[in-house]
Amino acid sequence: MGARKYKEINCEIALNQLKRRMPYSWDLNIYRGCEHGCKYCFAIYSHEYLGSDNYCKDIYVKTNIIEQLEKQLSSGNWKREIVNIGGVSDSYQPAEEHYKLMPEILRLLIKYQTPAIISTKSDLILRDYDLINELSRITYINIAATITTVDEELRKLIEPGGVESNRRFKMLKTFRETNASVGLHVMPIIPYLTDSFKNIDSLFNKAKESNVHYVLPGTLYLRGKTRRVFFDFIKKEFSGLYNHFLALYKTGGADKDYKNTLYKTVNLLRDKYSLSSSYSKPMKEKLKKIE
């Protein structure tokens, strides 16, 4: 895969401070746009300001991000807060095979003892196992995979550029050998497609087998361009469900009764497999230890 299909750009800063203080308050995105091309991608809106309508094909690469990151991390003002790597794009999408920017970023995080969160739909992250292992021994690092279904045919339709779900589970299991906090994000649970008891049971079962620290579920949310892209996809691939989705998604979130019923199932299965949903407690404990 050559670099020519990618658009190289310069960034002025690497770390963006978030308005909302989540468990993290800084975001770092090497790439804008994401080749994984998930049909439910919440981040499609973030491409508009780049003047592109093609979120999964027009991929922008911040090729000077390493220099900019070092400037920020080496500044006397840096308080070693948690950095979310890849808030609006996957840092281990295929472009990363070519640009290899993540290893340099991890080296800087190690040098400046900066905690981080990485969520990915690719096992390319295993390439950087040694660096993540090293980082996990000096500060908090969270490695998460988003996995929505065990049905590979369906997975290819809804996340065409991501790697197989089984490979993502294997990746999580491998990172359990480090000191990283490891989690499964079952996000989004898509009504009619991935919300069956059987699918959620299988995902939780595999999460248990992979020995993850926690499982975080979330329902599908459809706003702005994501709504249009998702409804076009349903019309094309599951036309019989189109009207059902319209009825369920009168607004951005699913109908309240639907969500209540779904979370009963989720909670039942979480108890069945004794899986935690909390990643903030171990995070606070570890950060306290290294203060």
- Does the footprint of ligand SF4 cover residue 286 (CB under 6 A)? no
Question: What residues contact 213, with CB distance under 8 A and at least 6 apart?
Answer: 181, 182, 183, 276, 279, 282
CB of 122 to ligand SF4, least distance (A): 8
CA nearest to 201, candidates 288, 132, 273, 108: 273
CB of 175 to ligand SF4, least distance (A): 18
Pairing of strands 7-9, 60-62: parallel
- Does the footprint of ligand SF4 cover residue 73 (CB under 6 A)? no
Q: Name which of 38 and 190 has its Cβ closer to ligand SF4.
A: 38
Please say whether the beta carbons of 85 and 28 come within 8 A.
yes
Q: Name which of 111 and 252 has its Cβ closer to ligand SF4.
A: 252
For 261-276, b where at least 16 C-beta lie within 10 A, e where not — what string? ebeebbeebbeeeebe
Name the amino acid, one letter, at 90.
D
Among 90, 96, 123, 128, binds ligand SF4 (CB under 6 A): 90
Q: Name which of 93 and 139 has its Cβ closer to ligand SF4.
A: 93
Among 34, 135, 190, 207, binds ligand SF4 (CB under 6 A): 34
CB of 38 to ligand SF4, least distance (A): 3
Measured CA to CA, the distance from residue 227 to residue 216 in angstroms comes to 23
> Taking contact as CB under 6 A, which single stretch among the options 33-41, 172-180, 214-222, 262-270 is the one that binds ligand SF4?
33-41
Among 29, 72, 84, 89, binds ligand SF4 (CB under 6 A): 89
> Taking contact as CB under 6 A, which single stretch among the options 35-43, 61-69, 214-222, 246-254 is the one that binds ligand SF4?
35-43
- Does the footprint of ligand SF4 cover residue 212 (CB under 6 A)? no
- Does the footprint of ligand SF4 cover residue 123 (CB under 6 A)? no
- Does the footprint of ligand SF4 cover residue 30 (CB under 6 A)? no
Sign of CA dihedral 76, 82, 87, 93: positive
> Taking contact as CB under 6 A, which single stretch among the options 34-42, 105-113, 198-206, 280-288 is the one that binds ligand SF4?
34-42
| DSSP characters over 58-115 | --EEETTHHHHHHHHHHSTT-----EEETSSS-TTSTHHHHH--HHHHHHHHHHTT--
Please say whether the beta carbons of 188 and 218 come within 8 A.
yes
Which residues would be at the binding site for ligand SF4 (CB under 6 A)? 34, 36-38, 41, 43, 89-90, 121
